[in-house]
Chain A
Amino acid sequence: NAGVTQTPKFQVLKTGQSMTLQCAQDMNHEYMSWYRQDPGMGLRLIHYSVGAGITDQGEVPNGYNVSRSTTEDFPLRLLSAAPSQTSVYFCASSTPRRDTQYFGPGTRLTVL
């Protein structure tokens, strides 16, 4: 049972480049979410999804897009990377009772 997987583990981008962070879970969880972790700020919610075809914005959605075409996958797209998006990104999914979230190992992104 792989749980929540994220790729890549590390990524360096130049300002203006685009990329997609991948997230997949094999637990058949309906709820998935993306957070960013910055020093001194804890984790902040970027986007979330309550099921395939349904997404919504979290606390810090600007500069990011998401889609949810399947239950398993929830990719996060950076359309035009900026240095302010340098961060560690975590994907999470929630149990059917929605009271526990499982986190992936994270992607460390640096934007130059």
Chain B
Amino acid sequence: GNSVTQMEGPVTLSEEAFLTINCTYTATGYPSLFWYVQYPGEGLQLLLKATKADDKGSNKGFEATYRKETTSFHLEKGSVQVSDSAVYFCALAPFGNEKLTFGTGTRLTIIP
């Protein structure tokens, strides 16, 4: 079956540091890949997505590239802010199917 493996947290960084959160997946075919973010006390919001190999998703300074050869979709940001503190979830959905499979989530804390 499908699965998503995420970097264990929690992750604590200083403001303006470089961020990488690793995500690898197992799936048949060509799934769509997503990063969702959950701010404290809120539901999940889509941060970015990529639907085919070598696509780069980007939003709010975050980026992730769909790497089929390494089955990875690592999340990166060049300079994090305190407001980026949240839990980040990597997820996949089979092509044409909405049923998301989530990773366990990575809690990120940014200190001033």
Is the pair A43, B98 in contact by a Cβ cutoff of 8 Å?
Answer: no
**Proximity bits, A88-105, B CB within 8 Å = 1, else 0:** 001010100011111111
A-B pairs, top 4 by smallest CB distance, nearest first, are A103-B43, A42-B102, A103-B44, A43-B102
Closest residue of B by beta carbon distance from A29 = B98
**B14 touches A (CB below 8 Å):** no
Is the pair A105, B98 in contact by a Cβ cutoff of 8 Å?
Answer: no
Closest residue of B by beta carbon distance from A32 = B98
Q: Please report the C-alpha to C-alpha distance between residue A106 and residue B44 in the assembled complex, in whole angstroms.
A: 9
* Residues in chain A within 8 A of chain B (CB atoms): 4, 31, 33, 35, 40-45, 48, 58, 90, 92, 94, 98-106
Which residues on B sit within 8 Å (CB–CB) of A90?
A: 43-44
Q: Please report the C-alpha to C-alpha distance between residue A103 and residue B42 in the assembled complex, in whole angstroms.
A: 9
Is the pair A42, B103 in contact by a Cβ cutoff of 8 Å?
Answer: yes
Closest residue of A by beta carbon distance from B89 = A42
Interface of B is mostly: loop
Is the pair A94, B104 in contact by a Cβ cutoff of 8 Å?
Answer: no
Q: A48: shortest Cβ distance to chain B, in Å?
A: 7
Q: B4: shortest Cβ distance to chain A, in Å?
A: 8
**Proximity bits, B45-81, A CB within 8 Å = 1, else 0:** 1100101000000000000000000000000000000
Is the pair A99, B51 in contact by a Cβ cutoff of 8 Å?
Answer: yes
Closest residue of A by beta carbon distance from B8 = A40
**B29 touches A (CB below 8 Å):** no
Q: Please report the C-alpha to C-alpha distance between residue A48 and residue B101 in the assembled complex, in whole angstroms.
A: 13
Q: Given the known A-B contacts A104-B43, A105-B42, are A40 and B104 also in contact in the complex, defined by CB atoms under 8 Å?
A: yes
Q: Please report the C-alpha to C-alpha distance between residue A58 and residue B99 in the assembled complex, in whole angstroms.
A: 8
Given contacts A40-B104, A42-B103, A48-B98, 7 further A-B contacts (CB under 8 A): A41-B104, A42-B104, A43-B89, A43-B100, A48-B99, A92-B44, A103-B44
